[in-house]
Amino acid sequence: MGLESKLGGPGTGWLTTKLDVVVNWARKNSLWPYPFGTACCGIEVMSMVSNHYDLARFGAEVVRFSPRQADLLLVAGTITDKMGPVLKTIYDQMAEPKWVISMGACASTGGFYRAYHVMQGIDEIIPVDIYVPGCPPTPEAVLNGILMLQKKIEQESVKDRK
């Protein structure tokens, strides 16, 4: 972006740091998830956004099923070779900043489907920030993943991307 490229000259380090704190706080507390639920893990995502394990408590209340409006791609379920290009298209259509959580065994590594038709992990096609193991992971495990993503966002800097 225009303003951040001018930061980084001498004497502006403190400004960038303060800007980082504010921008990262805003980004981590308002993640808008896109639940890309293809299989059983999608049910656990539904359970996580309902009231027993509320995801809205962490600011991620707004689930948007359009990649243009979301910033967290929550891949929940088995991704087959046929679904791969669809997932890549959806990821490309999301605007920066964007993060990806790979939920469950199937999305992370193909799980126990060591087969010709299952993609052995979505990191073959898109970069993943957090992997959550489980089959399916309990909703609390996914919440733990989102909390870990929030900690990861705190470490970012506005000069890195976007």
Partner 1 sequence: MESYVKVVKVEKVGPLDTLRGLWVTLSNFFRTIFLRNRVTIQYPEEERDYSERFRGVHILTKHEDGTPKCTACFLCATICPADCIHIEAGEHPNNRVEKIPTRFDIDMLRCVFCGYCVDACPEEAIIMSKEYDLATDTREESIFTMEMLLNRADKLGFDNGYRPHFGPLGGGGTRGKMEEAGITGTTRKK
Interface ranges with partner 1 (CB under 8 A): 51-54, 57, 105, 108-112, 114, 121, 123, 129-135, 137-138, 140-141, 143-145, 147-148, 152
Residue 24 or 109 with smaller CB distance to partner 1: 109
Q: CB–CB of 103/137 below 8 Å?
A: yes
Q: CB of residue 15 vs partner 1: minimum separation in angstroms?
A: 29
Residue 91 or 131 with smaller CB distance to partner 1: 131
The position carrying tokens 């600011």 is 59
Q: CB of residue 153 vs partner 1: minimum separation in angstroms?
A: 13
Q: CB–CB of 42/33 below 8 Å?
A: no
A 10 A CB-CB count for 84 gives 15
Q: CB of residue 6 vs partner 1: minimum separation in angstroms?
A: 32
Q: CB of residue 59 vs partner 1: minimum separation in angstroms?
A: 14
Angle separating helix axes 41-49 and 139-154, nearest 10 degrees: 70
Q: CB–CB of 45/51 below 8 Å?
A: no
Burial class (CB in 10 A: 0-12, 13-18, 19+), 7: middle
Residue 16 or 120 with smaller CB distance to partner 1: 120
Residue 80 or 108 with smaller CB distance to partner 1: 108
